[in-house]
Structure 1
Amino acid sequence: MVLSTSLSSLLALPVLAFFSLSARASPHPPRTPLSTAASTLKLAVRINSSGVKNIAGADRARVRDLQAGRSSSISATNAATIYTADVGVGSPATYYTLLIDTGSSNTWIKDKAYKKTSTSQDTGGKFSITYGSGSVSGEEYTDIVTLNSDLVIEKQSIGVASKSTGLDGLDGLLGVGPVYLTQGTVSNVDEVPTVTDNLYTQGTIGSEVLGVFFAPASSGDSSGELTFGSYDASKITGDINYVPITSTSPASGYWGIDQSIAYGTTSILTETAGIVDTGTTLILIATDAFRKYQSATGGTPDEATGLLKITSDQYNQLSSLYFTIGGVTYELTPNGQIWPRSLNSAIGGTTDGIYLVVGDIGSNSGSGLDFINGYCFLERFYSVYDTTNSRVGFSTTEYTYATSN
Structure 2
Amino acid sequence: MYVAVVGVGSPATNYDLIVDTGSSNTWVGASKSYTPTSTSQQTSDSVSVTESGSTGFSGTEYTDQVTLASGLVVSGQSIGVASTAKGFKDVDGILGLGPVDLTVGTLSPDTSSAIPTVVDNLFSQGSIPGHECSVYFEPITDSSGIQQNGQITFGGTDSSKFTGEITYAPITTTSPASNYWGVDASFSYGSGSDSTTILSATAGIVDSGTTLLPLATDAFNSFQKATGGVKDSATGLLSITSQQFGNMKSLYVTISDTVFELTPNALIWPRSLNSIIGGTAGSIYLIVTDNGSNSGSGLDFILGQKFMERFYTVFDTANQRVGFATTPFTDATSN
- Give % identity: 60
Q: Output the amino acid matched with 1:225.
A: Q
The one of 240, 243, 246 equivalent to 2:166 is: 240
Distance 1:324 1:333 in 2: 14
CA distance change for structure 1 residues 140 and 384 in 2, over 3 Å: closer, same or farther?
A: same
User: Is 1:195 aligned with 2:118?
Assistant: yes
Displaced runs of 4 or more, over 4 A? none
Structure with more contact order per residue of length (Cα contacts < 8 Å, sep ≥ 6): 1
Larger strand percent: 2
1:257 corresponds in structure 2 to 183
1:91 deviates by 1.8
CA distance change for structure 1 residues 124 and 248 in 2, over 3 Å: closer, same or farther?
A: closer
The one of 301, 308, 329 equivalent to 1:378 is: 308
Q: CA RMSD in A?
A: 2.0
Query: Is the Cα–Cα contact under 8 Å of residues 102 and 179 in structure 2 kept in the other structure?
Result: no
What CA deviation, in whole Å up to 9, does each residue of 1:24-72 have, x standing for no partner?
Answer: xxxxxxxxxxxxxxxxxxxxxxxxxxxxxxxxxxxxxxxxxxxxxxxxx
User: Is 1:355 aligned with 2:285?
Assistant: yes
Query: Is the Cα–Cα contact under 8 Å of residues 187 and 253 in structure 2 kept in the other structure?
Result: yes
What CA deviation, in whole Å up to 9, does each residue of 1:115-166 have, x standing for no partner?
Answer: 2222222223322333441442333222211111121111111223223223
1:399 deviates by 0.6
What is the aligned residue count?
Answer: 324
Query: Is the Cα–Cα contact under 8 Å of residues 212 and 384 in structure 1 kept in the other structure?
Result: yes
Aligned with 2:107: secondary structure?
Answer: coil
Query: Is the Cα–Cα contact under 8 Å of residues 251 and 263 in structure 2 kept in the other structure?
Result: yes
TM-score (norm 1): 0.75
Distance 1:231 1:305 in 2: 36
TM-score (norm 2): 0.90
CA distance change for structure 1 residues 86 and 370 in 2, over 3 Å: closer, same or farther?
A: closer
Distance 1:96 1:324 in 2: 37
Query: Is the Cα–Cα contact under 8 Å of residues 309 and 356 in structure 1 kept in the other structure?
Result: yes
Query: Is the Cα–Cα contact under 8 Å of residues 19 and 208 in structure 2 kept in the other structure?
Result: no
CA distance change for structure 1 residues 366 and 125 in 2, over 3 Å: closer, same or farther?
A: closer
The one of 148, 170, 179 equivalent to 2:69 is: 148
Distance 1:290 1:143 in 2: 44
Query: Is the Cα–Cα contact under 8 Å of residues 215 and 222 in structure 1 kept in the other structure?
Result: no
1:209 deviates by 1.0
User: Is 1:124 aligned with 2:124?
Assistant: no
What CA deviation, in whole Å up to 9, does each residue of 1:375-395 have, x standing for no partner?
Answer: 221111111111111111100
Give the gaps of 5 or more residues in structure 2: none
The one of 253, 257, 266 equivalent to 1:336 is: 266
Query: Is the Cα–Cα contact under 8 Å of residues 219 and 404 in structure 1 kept in the other structure?
Result: no
In the TM superposition, what are the counterparts of 1:84-233 in structure 2 within 5 Å? Answer: 84-110=3-29, 113-131=33-51, 132-187=53-108, 189=110, 190-218=113-141, 222-233=148-159
Distance 1:288 1:86 in 2: 39
1:248 deviates by 1.7
Q: Output the amino acid matched with 1:218.
A: T
